[in-house]
Structure 1
Amino acid sequence: MNKFFKYFLAVIAGALVSVFILTMGFFMIISSLASSASQEVKVKDNSILVLDLNGAITERNSNDILADLTAELTGSEPSVGLNQVLKAIKQAKDDDRIKGIYLESGMPSTGYATIEEIRNALLDFRASGKFIYSFNSTYSQKGYYLATAGDKVYLNPEGMLDFQGLAGSYTFYKGLLEKLGVEVQVFKHGEFKSAVEPYILDKMSDPARLQAEVYLNSMWNHILNSISASRGLTVEELNSAASMVPVMLPGEQLLDLKLIDGLRYKDEVISELKALTNTEDNDDLNAIGVRAYSSVYLPKEKKKGLEKNKIAVIYAEGAIDDASSSGGIDSEELSRTIREARRDSSIKAIVFRINSPGGSGLGSEIIWREVKLAKETKPVVVSMGDYAASGGYYIACAADTIIAHPTTLTGSIGVFSIVPNAQKLINKIGITTDRVVTNEFADFPSLDRPFNADERRIMQAYIERFYEVFLTRCADGRSVEKEAIGKIGEGRVWSGENAIGINLVDKLGGIDDAIAVAANMAGIETYRIVELPEQLSSIEQLMKSFSGNATAKIMETLLGEEYKVLKTVKSLENAYPIQARIPYEISVN
C-alpha cells in the first residue's frame, strides 16, 4: 500500500511539474514574441529583403499570438498577410538600403489571385533595377509561378519542380453518407450550382465539369502567357514542357528546358547574394524578413499620417456566417464596419476587398444592404481576391466598380439548401422518434424524417424566391436586365478574365488598382489608407483565440488540407437554410 501511494504521489507530482513546465514555456514564448514585436527594427546598408512565403498567406496580417505559438510548437511556417508582403515589396523598391529580394516561395498556401498580386508587385520591384533571386528545394506549381517574376530561379540539384498544368480536385461525400444512413435532401436553383453535388453524387455532373474546364483553361492560359513574358519562352514550349511532367525530370533537363536558371545548393546562392551586396565571405548577409520590414519607417517616405482624407480598405475574408469557420465573415460585424465607414466624413472612398466563397444567403443580403447605402454616399470599389463567388459576388454587385484578377473565381450566381434526413442512421442505432403537432407544418423541417411532397414544394418555392432576389441585386448593381444576369447565372463559376466579357467585372487588376480607381472617383490626390475592421491587440486576440478558436487553429495546423474536409462536413450542422456558396471544395493545384 505504501508503494501504491508512493507511485501515485510520484505520478501526481510529475503531472504537476509537466503542467508547470508547459505553462512556463508557453508564457516564455509569448513574452519572446511580444518582446520581438516591440523592438525597434533597423535596416543596415546593403541589405536584402527575405520573402519566405512557404506557408499560409492571408489577406492581412493579424496579431494572433496563439497562431504564431502553434506554428512555433509544430514547426510549421506562421501565416503572413498579403498586405504585409505588398507593403514590404513596395517600400523596398524605394529604400536605398535594400539592394534586392531573396525569395523562398516553394510551397505557398494560397490561391492563384493572391500569387498574382505578389507576382505583379515583384515585377514592379524589378523595374527599379534591383535584383530578385529565387531558391527552393521544391517548387509547387504556385511557388514556381511566383518565382518566375525573379531574375534567377534556382533549384537544389536534387530538387523537384511541379509544372504540369492545372487540375481541380473535388471531394464527394455521398458514399460516406449512404453508409451512415443519412439522406441529403437538396433544393437549388442553378444548373451549374454544384455546391450540392458532393452530397448527392459520386462524381462531377456534366455542367460542373464544363464550367471547371472553362475557368481552369482560362487560368492556365493566363499563367502560361505570364511565364512566357518573364522567361522568354513561347506558350507552346511551356505547354510541351508541362506535358513532360517536370516534377519527375532531372535538374539538368529542367535547365535544358529553360524552366530554371541554375542548380544550386543554398550556400552557393548565399555566396551569390553576398557578391551582389558587396558582403565579405566571412560576414553574414544583412537580411530582414517581411514581418520586421513591413513595420520599418522610411525616412524618405512622404508623410501621410496627417492627411485628413482617407480611403478605407475593408476586408471580407472567409465564408459568410459559417459558424464552423475560424476567421470567417460575421455579417453583422462587417455590415457595422461598412456603416461606420459610410458615416465617417473623413473617409472619402471605400475599397471593399473580398476573398470569399460565399455562405449564408441572409448574411449576404445584410452585407449587400450596407454596400448599397455606402455607394449612395461615397465611391465603393470592390477588389476581388482568390474567390468572390456566389455570396461573395452578392456582396460585391452593388459597388460602383468591380476589379478582379484574371485568376479570381467569381460569379456562381445561384442558391441552394441542404437538409439532411438521418432517419435511417438513428434507426440503425436503435433510436426511434414520435411527435405531436398542433399544425400541419409545426415540425418542419425535421432531421429524423424525409420531407413530404408539400414540404418539398414549400422549400423549393423558398429557393426560387431567394434566387429572384439574388438576380435582382445583381441586375440592379450592374445596370442590366435580370434576363441578362440569368443567362450567365445558374450558379456558374467564371474566372476573372471570363467575367470581363460578360459584365460581371469591370477591370482586371489588384488592390492597388482598386485604391487608385477609388481615389480618382473621390477626386482626391493625397490620402492615407485605413484598414478595417480595426484589429484587436495581441492580448485581445489571444483571449479571443482561447475563448473560441484555439482548438480550430490547432486542428487546422495539425491536419492541414484535411482540415478543410472535416470543416465542410461539420458545417452541415450549422448551415443557414439558404446558401449562396461556391462549390464546397475547389482545390486548384
Structure 2
Amino acid sequence: MRFAGRVWRLLVGIKDGLVLVFMLVFFGVLFAVLTARPSPAEVRGGALVLNLDGYVVEERQPVDPIRAFVTGETPVGEYQARDLVRALDAAATDSRIKAVVLDLDRFLGGGQVHLTEVGAALDRVRAAKKPVLTFATAYANDGMLLAAHASEIWMDPMGGTALSGPGGNQLYYKGLLDRLKVDAHVYRVGTYKSAVEPYFLTGMSPESRENYQALYGALWSEWQADVAKARPKADVALAANDPTGWMRAGGGDLAQAALRAGLVDKLASRDEFEARVVKLVGADSWSDKLNGYTATDLEPWLEQLGTPSGGAAIGVVTIAGEIVDGEAGPGTAGGTRIAELLDGALENEDFKALVVRVDSPGGSVLASEEIR
C-alpha cells in the first residue's frame, strides 16, 4: 500500500506540473498575441482620422454617466476646436502621418468661427503636401464648410448637399394669447429687443427683420466667400443662391448637382473611398475590414502630443454656453464658477497675461454681473 501511495502521489505531481506548464504556455501565447496586435489607442502613423460624430465646440461639456445610464442615450460627441487645430498642425509636420481623413457622416455642425479655424488648419496640412480626404453620405452647411478645405471630397451617390444658409423659425403667440384672452405686459428698452416680440406681435417687426438680415446676411456672405476661396472652381453662387437652377443643372439628382457644381469630387461608396485611402497610406495588415488602412485616431494622437510648454505662462478662461447662476460647467457658463476662475487667474503671479474667450449667447443678468 505504501508503494501504491507513492506512485499515486508521483502521478498527481506530474499531472499538476503538466497543468502548470500548459497554463504558462497558454497565457504566454495569449500575451504575445495581444501585445503583437496594435492597440486602438496607439499612434500608428498612416492617416490621421477625424471621425467627427458630433459638434465642434469651444469648450466640451463633461459626460454625466448616471444620466446616460438612466436615459439610455449615447452622449453626443463634442470636439474642441483648439484640439482639432493642434492635432492638424502637428500632423502637417509629422512624418508618420501621410494623410488626413475626415469622416463627416455623423457630423452635426459647429460655430462658423470654429469651423473657419479648423479649415485654415486643413489648408496648412495641404500646404505640407499631405492629402486631406473627406467622406459623407450628405453635406449640409457646416459639413460643406469643412469639406471645402479638403483636397478630395467624396460623397455617397445616394446622398446630396443641402445648402440652406443660416436662420431658423420663430413662433409668435399673440394670436393664441388673444383667443385665450390673456394680456401680456412686456417692458423693454431699446429698438432691437426682439426676444419678447412673440408675445405682442403676430410676425416679425421691421426692426427685427433688419437686425436678422444684417446678422445672417453677413454670416452667409462669409460662408460663401470661404467656400469659394477654398474651391475656386466650384459654382458656389449657383448652389447657394439659386437652388432651383442648381437642381435643374443636376437633372433633379442632388448628388449629381453637387458633382457638376464642383462641390464634391467623387461619388462613390465608403468601400471605394477607403480603397483610395489604402493607396495613399497603405493597407492595415491587422484589420478585418475589406479596405482597412493604417490609421491613427484623434484621442491617442492628442495624448502623445502632450501639453504645450515653453515661454511665459498665459492664463485662459473660457466662457462658453449659456450664462447661468451657480457652478455649472464646463460647456455652460456658471457665473460663480467663472468668477472664481477669473479671481484665481488674477491672483496667480506666474501668469504674464490673461485671455478670456467668450462663446456665449448671454443669459442670466445676475450671473453676468457676477462675472463682470
The reply to whether TM is greater than 0.5 is yes
Counterpart mapping for 1:84-123 below 5 A: 84-106=83-105, 107-123=107-123
- Give how far 1:275 is off: 0.2
> Given residue 220 of structure 2, which amino acid in structure 1 is its aligned partner?
W
> Given residue 317 of structure 2, which amino acid in structure 1 is its aligned partner?
I
Q: Over alpha carbons, which structure has the higher Rg? A: 2
Q: Give the 3-state SS of the residue equivalent to 1:201 in structure 2.
A: coil
Q: 1:150 to 1:280 in 2, by over 3 A?
A: same
Measured in 1, the distance between the counterparts of 2:211 and 2:333 equals 27
Partner of 1:315: 318
Partner of 1:356: 360
Measured in 1, the distance between the counterparts of 2:297 and 2:284 equals 21
- Give how far 1:70 is off: 6.1
Contact 1:60 1:84 in 2 (8 A): no
> Is structure 2 residue 295 aligned with structure 1 residue 287?
yes
Q: Give the 3-state SS of the residue equivalent to 2:332 in structure 1.
A: coil
- Give how far 1:277 is off: 0.4
Q: 1:131 to 1:365 in 2, by over 3 A?
A: same
> Given residue 83 of structure 1, which amino acid in structure 2 is its aligned partner?
R
Q: 1:94 to 1:280 in 2, by over 3 A?
A: same
Contact 1:55 1:78 in 2 (8 A): yes
Q: How many residues align?
A: 322
Q: 1:360 to 1:90 in 2, by over 3 A?
A: same
Q: Runs ≥4 in structure 1, deviation > 6 angstroms?
A: 280-283
Q: Give the 3-state SS of the residue equivalent to 1:189 in structure 2.
A: coil
- Give how far 1:331 is off: 1.6
> Is structure 2 residue 151 aligned with structure 1 residue 147?
no
Counterpart mapping for 1:361-440 below 5 A: 361-368=365-372
Contact 1:105 1:146 in 2 (8 A): no
Q: Give the 3-state SS of the residue equivalent to 1:195 in structure 2.
A: coil
Contact 2:63 2:75 in 1 (8 A): no
Counterpart mapping for 1:448-467 below 5 A: none
Partner of 2:239: 241
> Given residue 297 of structure 1, which amino acid in structure 2 is its aligned partner?
L
Measured in 2, the distance between the counterparts of 1:48 and 1:61 equals 25
> Is structure 2 residue 173 aligned with structure 1 residue 170?
no
Measured in 2, the distance between the counterparts of 1:71 and 1:86 equals 34
- Give how far 1:290 is off: 2.3
Measured in 1, the distance between the counterparts of 2:172 and 2:319 equals 28
Q: Give the 3-state SS of the residue equivalent to 1:60 in structure 2.
A: coil
Partner of 1:384: none
Unaligned runs of 5+ residues in structure 1 are: 1-38, 369-589
Unaligned runs of 5+ residues in structure 2 are: 1-38
Q: Give the 3-state SS of the residue equivalent to 1:185 in structure 2.
A: coil
Q: 1:297 to 1:195 in 2, by over 3 A?
A: same
Measured in 2, the distance between the counterparts of 1:184 and 1:289 equals 54
Q: 1:74 to 1:263 in 2, by over 3 A?
A: same
Cα displacement string for residues 427-471 of structure 1 (whole angstroms, at most 9, x for unaligned residues): xxxxxxxxxxxxxxxxxxxxxxxxxxxxxxxxxxxxxxxxxxxxx
Measured in 2, the distance between the counterparts of 1:278 and 1:188 equals 63
Partner of 1:226: 226
> Given residue 79 of structure 2, which amino acid in structure 1 is its aligned partner?
V
Partner of 2:203: 203
Higher relative contact order (CA 8 A, sep 6+): 1
Partner of 1:271: 275
Q: Give the 3-state SS of the residue equivalent to 2:128 in structure 1.
A: coil
Contact 1:61 1:83 in 2 (8 A): no
Partner of 1:80: 79
Contact 1:140 1:162 in 2 (8 A): yes
- Give how far 1:188 is off: 1.3
> Is structure 2 residue 354 aligned with structure 1 residue 340?
no
Q: 1:348 to 1:157 in 2, by over 3 A?
A: same
Contact 2:68 2:74 in 1 (8 A): no
Contact 1:321 1:363 in 2 (8 A): yes
TM-score by length of 1: 0.50
